[in-house]
């Protein structure tokens, strides 16, 4: 694509995707922003004062980060071998496995409120950060598997076979062939698992029995207090943007 | 660190009040005079409560109430040896859902919810299912300061509260108008209809089953009777905002519309909501409260303790603290929250009674709710909502 | 017959039976998901059948019957399906287009295109209301909007938000599957004289079909069952399935949870049906 068209596309994308988010940045500092003003009437710090004060954004941020990293790690570790088998070996009658993996994705998220909590209480894993992690893994693991699946294809298989014929052992093949070949897929899977965990609300609240996470502390302020909600939203989005930027750097496209 | 300093400087009055309270608590501990048996019972409970952590699940979207609980109630609880943990939820149903899940899992003790700021319908349904701890409310020392004969207190949406929930705050349904846009607000439903005729598209209310919307519909029915009330709403519909084809889905959405100048009236069961919205920079400073039909629909806010709560003793001590005149006075102070007290002022001794007087009135608060209306029953709510959906929405 | 190193677990297309290594590889994930989620699902089914405080003997289809008798639910089901199909189709088309346009772009550009992905649906809905709602920024800047997305009776607002959020998501999935090898194969096809359309059909599409189908299924399933977006930008009536479940438990959780669980289970079932149909279709195309 030509240089000019690329720039045009970037401009359109930026206007469409970045600009609307900018409103959060403005709203977080808008002590007063009434119609018909296009800009706030009054700026101030109330949003962040409340966010890090009574709304405990700091605690929530720590919890959310711990849980998201743990859930992502577990999802990738468990999902990798599963995706490999499902992606490379065309096994018969694997529909049942796919159904099991797909169920948490296909069921409405809101349904979790009507059964997950009770089940986790019966299992004794509720009322703890570990319980929240497991609840998040339930939803992140299917994403990880499905995305990793798309990376395990015939090319990778062929590459591994080639490496095997040159005498490379399984660990070598993994480190030097498979992982590099699946790098973009692995990164996408990690990113999405992280985001899935990051955005969980209902399961976190009920299973965690009130431990603060960012969605939990943010939701009550949505609609009722836009300034505080925007401040919390920025705290919520910051790690996501960092993750996205990190991923962008890793995914430098070869040309 | 910088934020902490700002917080402290902003809440200097709270710190002073709490200090005064701390000094006073020691002196006043013996002034309570509940029945002798009640006092012993409560002393045992207070002893058991020491060292407990109480999880109070309550709506978390109101910064003023959050601050009140964090900087007034929590320190008071700490002095009683209790760590109060405020669990913010977006809706009471979140808390009830946790309790229901615990019940379904067969848990009878060690529950993660110790105290809930509950709404009438969920209380009624939970009471029927046996979810709430019973028999604890009357023996609390400060319960003597509440007039439990008052039907608006001993019944929540007409369901007897028995010993299962304790009042902690008053609610009254008030409306808001902007003096700049509306020099004279309507004072009856019929006048509201006339206003809508004169200014089409400037009136709306949240759609049931939102609580505020349901309450508005309730008032129409209370004022005019069931069928007449619905005829009135049907007549109002085409004159409403967006010709009644679209309704705000919540009180918060209606507040946004009102703040943006799309409609001329807002409404809420929180009598201090105008003060709150002005403080948030949402409402203009020219907004004022008003009532319809000469009196507000009055309600009480309650807290309840699930029967399986892990720290029921601590929860009871906290509930008792909520009724402490000092804490109630700070809540009622127009400069702080302006939410009316649930205490019976006649039952207070003069020092306490004086706390509730002499504060500077706020233009955003009504000091008199007029000829108060009483609530409909909990069992009438769903039929009302369904009828509204059938006749008005579709 | 396989004469290579048995440690090699690689077969191209032979040996299509389950081996112990396969089961072991799948077991951790499968067992964890089964242990955690199937129990949860059973719990939800129980909620739809047994009222609080009852035992197995009190199970009945009362909630389900009430559900199907409710006109709000029936109308809501229709709206949900319409919105789902529209959102999925448009998001998939735009997602593929976006991925193709960006396949050679730098990471920074891709990051911009992927910007909506980490933003949770709830925030996107809130931002949509801030911009496009009555008295919103668009109104303030432009005077007033010619169209009305928020609260649109046909669910146009819902579709717009889903497309905004999911097109980049599908683009992300598609881009993840388009690597250097695809480029090489396309070049090879070009060398052999295949024109643009032929290359697209025979080289490009088989490579990206997987992520597109998977992505579309995820988007469709999400659209069927999600709550926050239709709650924020959808019409008052009819409610989508998840909004119906939410409204049924508003105010009073306990009397409504049976119907709510039933509505959500039905939504999940529809998602499963859609997914199965989608996968079968893709598989049959694969075998041609």
Q: What is the DSSP string of B84-97?
A: EEEEEESSHHHHHH
pLDDT tens digits along C218-263: 899 999 999 999 999 999 999 999 999 999 998 889 989 999 999 9
Question: Nearest-CA neighbor of C211 among A191, A149, B325?
Answer: A149
Q: Do A228 and B63 touch (CB under 8 A)?
A: yes
Residues of C in contact with B210 (CB under 8 A): 250
Give the confidence band of C84 by pLDDT, cuts at 50, 70, 90.
very high
C175 has pLDDT over 70? yes
Separation of alpha carbons A101 and C224, rounded Å: 18
Better-predicted residue by pLDDT, A79 or A184: A79
Give the confidence band of C2 by pLDDT, cuts at 50, 70, 90.
very low
- Min CA distance, A206 vs chain B (Å)? 6
- Min CA distance, B93 vs chain C (Å)? 6
> Which residue out of B103, B281, B315 would a mutagenesis test of the A interface target, given it has the greatest number of A Cβ atoms within 10 Å?
B281
CB B215 within 8 A of CB B206: no
Residues of B in contact with A53 (CB under 8 A): 3, 7, 67
A–C CB contacts, 8 A cutoff, strictly below: 282
Say what the pLDDT of residue B32 is.
38
Of C47, C225, C257, the CB nearest to A108: C225
Say what the pLDDT of residue A173 is.
84
C236 vs B: CB within 8 A: yes
Q: What pTM does this model have?
A: 0.89
Say what the pLDDT of residue C116 is.
86
Residues of C in contact with A145 (CB under 8 A): 29
B272 has pLDDT over 60? yes
Q: Stretch A221-238: mean pLDDT, rounded? A: 93
Q: Stretch C157-164: mean pLDDT, rounded? A: 94
Say what the pLDDT of residue A241 is.
85
CB B385 within 8 A of CB B214: yes
pLDDT tens digits along B22-32: 443 433 343 33
Mean of the per-residue pLDDT values of chain C: 87
- Min CA distance, C243 vs chain B (Å)? 11
pLDDT tens digits along A19-57: 888 899 999 999 999 888 889 989 999 999 999 999 999
pLDDT tens digits along B47-99: 999 999 999 999 999 999 999 999 999 999 999 999 999 999 999 999 999 99
C6 has pLDDT over 80? no
> Which residue out of A92, A93, A106 would a mutagenesis test of the C interface target, given it has the greatest number of C Cβ atoms within 10 Å?
A106
Q: Do A223 and B101 touch (CB under 8 A)?
A: no
- Min CA distance, C287 vs chain B (Å)? 47
Residue B206 phi/psi, 5-degree rounding, is: -65, 150
Say what the pLDDT of residue B36 is.
45
B215 has pLDDT over 70? yes
pLDDT tens digits along A96-125: 899 999 999 999 999 988 999 999 999 999
Say what the pLDDT of residue C19 is.
87
Q: Stretch B174-186: mean pLDDT, rounded? A: 95
Better-predicted residue by pLDDT, B150 or C251: B150
- In this structure, the strands spanning B165-172 and B83-89 are unpaired
Give the end-to-end CA distance of chain A in Å, rounded to a whole number: 12
CA count, 13 A, side-chain hemisphere, A212: 24
Least trusted range by pLDDT, from B226-240, C177-191, C267-281: C177-191
Chains near C with 3+ CB pairs less than 8 A apart are A, B
Residues of A in contact with B67 (CB under 8 A): 53-54
Please state the length of chain A.
255
Of A101, A109, A147, the CB nearest to C176: A147
**C287 burial class (0-12, 13-18, 19+ CB within 10 angstroms)?**
exposed
Q: Do B280 and A227 touch (CB under 8 A)?
A: yes
> Which residue out of A41, A59, A220 would a mutagenesis test of the B interface target, given it has the greatest number of B Cβ atoms within 10 Å?
A220
Q: Stretch C150-161: mean pLDDT, rounded? A: 92
Say what the pLDDT of residue B235 is.
95
In chain A the domains, ranked by start, together with CATH numbers, are 1-44 (no CATH), 55-252 (1.10.3720.10)
Separation of alpha carbons B68 and B72, rounded Å: 5
Separation of alpha carbons C264 and C59, rounded Å: 18
Q: What residue in B sits closest to A127 (Cα-Cα)?
A: B112
CB B385 within 8 A of CB B210: no
A59-74: buried (b, 16+ CB within 10 Å) or exposed (e) per residue?
A: ebbebbbebbebbbeb
* Residue A55 DSSP code: T
Say what the pLDDT of residue B286 is.
95
Say what the pLDDT of residue B30 is.
38
Q: What residue in A sits closest to C119 (Cα-Cα)?
A: A237
Mean of the per-residue pLDDT values of chain A: 89
* Percent of all residues in chain B with a pLDDT value above 90, rounded to a whole number: 79
Q: Identify any residues that bridge with B83 across adjacent strands, giving them in sequence order.
A: B53
Of C45, C101, C110, the CB nearest to A248: C110
Q: Do A221 and B61 touch (CB under 8 A)?
A: yes
CB B372 within 8 A of CB B172: yes
The ipTM is: 0.90
Q: Do C151 and B262 touch (CB under 8 A)?
A: no
Residues with Cβ < 8 Å from C267, sequence gap 6 or more? A108, A111, C80, C224, C225, C241, C242
Q: Identify any residues that bridge with B57 across adjacent strands, giving them in sequence order.
A: B87, B116
Give the confidence band of C287 by pLDDT, cuts at 50, 70, 90.
low
Task: Take residue C103 and report the two structure tokens written for it.
Answer: 């396949």
Residues of A in contact with B104 (CB under 8 A): 118
Query: For residue C198, what are the CA distances in angstroms to C95, C175, C201?
Result: 21, 20, 5
Site of tokens 């577990």: A74
Give the confidence band of C145 by pLDDT, cuts at 50, 70, 90.
confident
- In this structure, the strands spanning B53-59 and B115-118 are parallel
CB B67 within 8 A of CB B18: no
User: From chain A, which residues contact B within 8 Å (Cβ)?
Assistant: 30-36, 41-42, 45-46, 48-50, 52-55, 113, 117-119, 121-122, 126-127, 202, 205-206, 209-210, 212, 216-217, 219-228
CB B309 within 8 A of CB B115: yes
> Which residue out of C236, C249, C256 would a mutagenesis test of the B interface target, given it has the greatest number of B Cβ atoms within 10 Å?
C236
Q: Identify any residues that bridge with B177 across adjacent strands, giving them in sequence order.
A: B265, B288
Give the confidence band of C9 by pLDDT, cuts at 50, 70, 90.
very low
A5 has pLDDT over 70? yes
B–C CB contacts, 8 A cutoff, strictly below: 73
Residues of B in contact with C235 (CB under 8 A): 246
* Percent of all residues in chain A with a pLDDT value above 90, rounded to a whole number: 54
Please, what is the angle between helix C205-225 and helix C71-102, to 10°? 150
Residue B111 phi/psi, 5-degree rounding, is: -65, 155
Of B97, B210, B382, the CB nearest to C253: B97
B3 has pLDDT over 70? no
Say what the pLDDT of residue A252 is.
60
Q: What is the DSSP string of chain C?
A: ---S-TT----SS---S--HHHHHHHHHHHHHHIIIIIHHHHHHHHHHHS-TT--GGG--SHHHHHHHH-HHHHHHHHHHHHHHHHHHHHHHHHHHHHHHHHTTS-HHHHHHHTTTTTS-HHHHHHHHHHHHSTTSHHHHHHSS-SS--TT-TTSHHHHHHHHHHHHHHHHHHHHHH--HHHHHHHHHHHHTT--HHHHIIIIIHHHHHHHHHHHHHHHHHHHHH--HHHHHHS-SSSPPHHHHHHHHHSS-HHHHHHHHHHHHHHHHHHHHHHHHHHHHHHHHHHT-
- Min CA distance, A242 vs chain C (Å)? 10
* Residue B306 DSSP code: B
Q: What residue in A sits closest to B69 (Cα-Cα)?
A: A54
Say what the pLDDT of residue C15 is.
57
CB A217 within 8 A of CB A201: no
Least trusted range by pLDDT, from A47-61, A157-171, B245-259: A157-171
CB A156 within 8 A of CB A107: no
**Distance from the Cα of residue B203 to its chain's centroid:** 25
pLDDT tens digits along B5-18: 444 444 444 444 44
Q: Do A217 and B113 touch (CB under 8 A)?
A: no
Q: What residue in C sits closest to A146 (Cα-Cα)?
A: C214
- Min CA distance, A119 vs chain C (Å)? 5
Give the confidence band of A1 by pLDDT, cuts at 50, 70, 90.
low
Task: Take residue A210 and report the two structure tokens written for it.
Answer: 């009130």
CB B275 within 8 A of CB B362: yes
> Which residue out of C2, C15, C27, C33 would a mutagenesis test of the A interface target, given it has the greatest number of A Cβ atoms within 10 Å?
C33
Least trusted range by pLDDT, from A141-155, C49-63, C274-288: C274-288
The winner for highest mean pLDDT among A6-10, A219-223, B17-21 is A219-223
Say what the pLDDT of residue C8 is.
46
Q: What residue in A sits closest to B95 (Cα-Cα)?
A: A206
C7 has pLDDT over 70? no
Say what the pLDDT of residue A169 is.
85
CB A46 within 8 A of CB A228: yes
CB C249 within 8 A of CB C88: no
Separation of alpha carbons A47 and A43, rounded Å: 10
């Amino acid at each position: 694509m030509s240089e000019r068209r690329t720039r045009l596309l970037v401009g359109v994308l930026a206007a469409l995707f970045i600009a609307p988010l900018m409103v959060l940045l403005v709203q977080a500092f808008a002590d007063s922003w009434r119609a018909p003003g296009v800009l706030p009437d009054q700026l101030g710090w109330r949003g962040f004062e409340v966010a890090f004060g009574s709304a405990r954004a700091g605690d929530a941020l720590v919890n959310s980060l711990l849980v998201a990293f743990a859930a992502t790690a577990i999802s990738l570790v468990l999902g990798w071998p599963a995706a490999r088998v499902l992606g490379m070996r065309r096994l018969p009658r694997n529909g049942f496995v796919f159904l099991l993996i797909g169920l948490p994705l296909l069921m409405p998220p809101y349904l979790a409120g009507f059964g997950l909590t009770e089940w986790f209480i019966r299992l004794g894993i509720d009322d703890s950060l570990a319980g929240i992690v497991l609840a998040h893994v339930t939803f992140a693991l299917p994403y990880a598997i499905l995305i990793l699946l798309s990376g395990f294809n015939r090319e990778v298989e062929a590459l591994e076979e080639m490496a095997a014929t040159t005498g490379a052992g399984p660990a070598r093949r993994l480190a030097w062939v498979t992982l590099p070949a699946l790098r973009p897929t692995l990164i996408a899977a990690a990113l999405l698992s992280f985001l899935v965990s990051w955005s969980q609300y209902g399961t976190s609240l009920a299973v965690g029995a009130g431990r603060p996470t960012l969605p939990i502390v943010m939701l009550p302020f949505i609609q009722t207090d836009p300034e505080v909600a925007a401040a919390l939203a920025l705290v919520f989005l910051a790690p996501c943007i960092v993750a996205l930027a990190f991923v962008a750097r890793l995914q430098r496209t070869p040309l | 660190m910088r934020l902490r300093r700002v917080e402290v400087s902003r809440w200097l009055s709270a710190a002073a009040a709490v200090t005064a309270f701390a000094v006073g608590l020691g002196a006043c501990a013996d002034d309570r005079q509940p029945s002798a048996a009640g006092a012993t019972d409560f002393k045992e409970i207070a002893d058991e409560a020491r060292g407990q952590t109480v999880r109070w699940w309550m709506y978390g979207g109101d910064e003023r109430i959050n601050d009140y609980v964090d900087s007034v109630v929590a320190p008071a609880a700490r002095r009683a040896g209790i760590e109060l943990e405020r669990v913010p939820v977006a809706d009471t149903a979140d808390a009830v859902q946790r309790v229901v899940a615990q019940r379904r899992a067969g848990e009878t003790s060690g529950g993660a919810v110790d105290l809930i700021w509950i709404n009438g319908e969920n209380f009624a349904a939970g009471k029927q299912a046996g979810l709430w701890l019973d028999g604890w409310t009357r023996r609390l020392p400060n319960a003597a300061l509440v007039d439990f004969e008052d039907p608006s207190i001993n019944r929540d949406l007409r369901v007897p509260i028995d010993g299962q929930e304790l009042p902690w705050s008053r609610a009254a349904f008030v409306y808001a108008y902007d003096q700049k846009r509306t020099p004279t607000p309507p004072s009856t439903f019929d006048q509201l209809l006339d206003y809508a005729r004169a200014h089409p598209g400037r009136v709306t209310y949240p759609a049931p089953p939102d609580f505020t919307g349901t309450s508005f519909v309730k008032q129409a029915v209370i004022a005019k009777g069931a069928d007449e009330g619905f005829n009135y709403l049907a007549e109002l519909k085409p004159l409403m905002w967006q010709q009644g084809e679209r309704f705000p889905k919540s009180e918060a959405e209606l507040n946004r519309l009102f703040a943006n100048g799309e409609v001329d009236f807002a409404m809420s069961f929180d009598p201090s909501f105008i003060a709150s919205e002005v403080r948030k920079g949402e409402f203009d400073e020219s907004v004022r409260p008003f009532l319809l039909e000469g009196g507000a629909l009055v309600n009480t806010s309650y807290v309840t303790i699930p029967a399986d709560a892990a720290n029921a003793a601590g929860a009871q001590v906290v509930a008792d603290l909520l009724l402490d005149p000092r804490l109630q006075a700070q809540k009622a102070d127009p400069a702080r929250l302006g939410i009316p007290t649930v205490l019976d002022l006649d039952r207070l001794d003069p020092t306490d009674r004086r706390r509730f007087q002499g504060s500077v009135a706020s233009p955003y608060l009504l000091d008199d709710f007029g000829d108060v209306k009483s609530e409909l029953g909990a069992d009438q709510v769903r039929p009302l909502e369904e009828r509204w959906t059938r006749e008005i929405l579709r | 017959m396989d004469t290579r190193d048995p440690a090699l677990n690689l077969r191209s297309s032979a040996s299509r039976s389950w081996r112990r290594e396969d089961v072991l590889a799948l077991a951790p994930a499968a067992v964890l998901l089964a242990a955690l989620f199937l129990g949860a699902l059973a719990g939800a089914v129980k909620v739809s059948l047994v009222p609080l405080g009852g035992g197995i003997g009190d199970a009945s289809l009362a909630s389900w019957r009430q559900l199907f008798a409710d006109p709000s639910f029936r109308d809501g089901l229709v709206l949900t399906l319409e919105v789902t199909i529209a959102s999925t189709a448009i998001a998939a088309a735009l997602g593929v287009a976006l991925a193709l346009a960006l396949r050679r772009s730098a990471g920074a550009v891709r990051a911009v295109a992927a910007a909506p992905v980490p933003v949770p649906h709830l925030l996107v809905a809130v931002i949509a209301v801030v911009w496009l709602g009555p008295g919103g920024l668009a109104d303030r800047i432009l005077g007033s909007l010619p169209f009305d997305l928020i609260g649109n009776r046909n669910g146009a607002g819902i579709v717009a938000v889903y497309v905004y959020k999911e097109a980049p998501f599908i683009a992300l999935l598609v881009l993840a599957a388009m690597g250097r090898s695809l480029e090489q194969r396309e070049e090879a096809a070009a060398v052999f004289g295949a024109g643009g359309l032929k290359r697209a059909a025979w080289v490009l599409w088989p490579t990206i079909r997987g992520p597109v189908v998977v992505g579309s299924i995820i988007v469709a399933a999400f659209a069927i069952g999600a709550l926050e977006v239709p709650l924020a930008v959808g019409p008052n009536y009819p409610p989508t399935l998840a909004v119906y479940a939410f409204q049924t438990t508003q105010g009073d959780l306990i009397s409504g949870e049976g119907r709510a669980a039933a509505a959500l289970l039905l939504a999940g079932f529809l998602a499963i049906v859609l997914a199965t149909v989608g996968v079968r279709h893709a598989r049959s195309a694969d075998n041609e």
